[in-house]
Chain A
Amino acid sequence: MTQLRVRVWRGGADGGFQPFAVPRQASQTVLDAVTYIQRVLDPTLAYRFACRVGMCGSCAMTVNGVARWTCRTHVDKVARDGRLEIAPLRSLPVVRDLVTEMRGFFDKWSRAEGVFRGARSRRDAFERVAPRSAQRLNVEAGIECIGCAVCYASCDVVAQNPEYLGPAALNRAWTLLNDVRDVAQAERLRAVAGDAGCHACHSQMGCTERCPKGIAPTASIAGLKRAAMRALLAGEL
């Protein structure tokens, strides 16, 4: 049986890589390799996962220098000469080993007004939204985000400007901006049009390149830029 040589980040921000030998399996994912290490070689290894099928967004790590969802990343695809280097996500504080502190990431969703604010109660009728309307199609393009923070860790602007809301939060704001039921659009636009908002994006498209769900946060952020510009010209911002 061939062995996979895996170097895994241990400790906090000032930690280092620890080498492990993991048996190579057919159709093995990176998460399988990490789980093998934790179950067989070193039970003290800290990492996160839940669903294993690309839905929960909790298993993202840096694999050979690139942020990826590890449960849907096959070792075949990313190992170089049978070697893997697995580290925590970039731009997020390391709690321990492969676990990062996600609080700042999700706080930014709140700061970007990434919360639905409706005006109807359960006694009102349903809002009718035409499935092929332009706004609904905009929502559709961005709504499948699983909050894995791969885009956030892949963004150079986030790395250089810790205040920047980041691609995931701005993508969420964009899907809500296109939600005809939402009644807090002016506040949302103000929240995303500041210095740390959509205009800080340099359109390098690292987020779009790396999003495991195939979402283009760059498109959402460009939409926010246009919306903010229109609001400014109309004197609403």
Chain B
Amino acid sequence: MRGHPGHWAFLVHRVSGVLLALFLPGHFVALGAALEGEAAMDAFLAWTDRPLVKFGEWGIVLLLSAHLAGGLRILALEFLPWREGHKTMAALAAGVSLAVSLAFALALTR
């Protein structure tokens, strides 16, 4: 059964999880550059100043906030006493994650 808020929330949670898992090795490689000396790390940091990489960073923050908010929604749904209004919860999770990512985008432009 597709095309209702519960299914969209499920898809966003799954897809963001998979994409974050793909990002993680890249993150470790970047951190590993620090072990190879100051120059390697600085070169990497200079590369991250490119606009396209900044846009990618924004995307990662969006994925992280969406996955966190979606995860909290699922935990509330499954572990707290049942309440109506789960579509509102899904909308709230989407709103919070968008707000967090926009705040990050704002910080990037300053």
Contact = CB atoms under 8 A, between A and B. Distances in A.
Contacts of B77: 203, 218, 222
Contacts of B4: 205-206, 209
A223 interface: yes
Contacts, number: 47
A154 interface: yes
Interface string B1-45: 110101100100000000000000000000000000000000000
Contacts of B82: 141, 216, 219, 222-223
Given A203-B6, A203-B10, A210 B1 contact: yes
Contact of B1 (A155, A216, A219): A155
Contacts of A73: none
Main secondary structure of the interface of B (DSSP, over half): helix
Nearest to A226: B79
Contacts of A209: 1, 4, 6
Contact of A154 (B1, B10, B74, B86): B1
A229 B92 CA distance: 27
Nearest to B1: A206
Interface residues of B, number: 12
B109 to A, nearest CB: 37
Interface in B66-110: 74, 77-79, 82, 86
Which interface class (under 10, 10 to 19, 20 to 34, 35 or more) fits A?
A: 20 to 34
Contacts of A208: 6, 86
Nearest to B79: A226
Nearest to B82: A219
Contacts of A204: 1, 6-7, 10
Q: Which of A66, A207, A222, A223 has the most CB of B within 10 A?
A: A222
B78 A206 contact: no
A225 interface: yes
Q: Which of B2, B6, B79 has the most CB of A within 10 A?
A: B6
A145 to B, nearest CB: 16
B94 to A, nearest CB: 15
Interface string A72-100: 00000000000000000000000000000
22 contacts: A67-B1, A141-B82, A156-B7, A203-B6, A203-B10, A204-B6, A205-B7, A206-B1, A206-B6, A207-B1, A209-B4, A209-B6, A210-B1, A218-B6, A218-B86, A219-B82, A222-B78, A222-B79, A222-B82, A225-B78, A226-B78, A226-B79
